[in-house]
Amino acid sequence: MFSCLNEMEGYATMATHDPYINGTKAADYAGCSARTLRRRVAEGKLTAYRSGRIVRYKKSDLDAMFTRTDTWAVN
C-alpha cells in the first residue's frame, strides 16, 4: 500500500532511503575516527542528526564530505 502511495505522490521509495548510522559505523565507513567526524560537524563541513544524546549520520552526507581531486597543489 505504501509503495503505491509513494509512487503516486512522487515520494522516495524505500529503495532510495538513506538510513542513519551511528558514529562508530560512520567512522568505519568514512575511514576516519569518530573524533574527526565530530570535528567536521563543529567546522560545519558535515551534517549530523541528533535526538537528545543520540547522534547519527547519513552515508550520503559522509560521501559529500569528500571532494574529487584530480591534481595536487604544489606550494
Cβ 57 vs Cβ 19: under 8 Å: no
SS3 50: strand
* pTM summary value: 0.68
Round to whole Å and give the CA distance between 57 and 7: 26
Q: So what's the pLDDT on residue 45?
A: 93
Q: So what's the pLDDT on residue 10?
A: 54
List, for the chain, all residue ranges whose pLDDT scores fall below the cut of 70: 1-16, 75
Q: So what's the pLDDT on residue 67?
A: 81
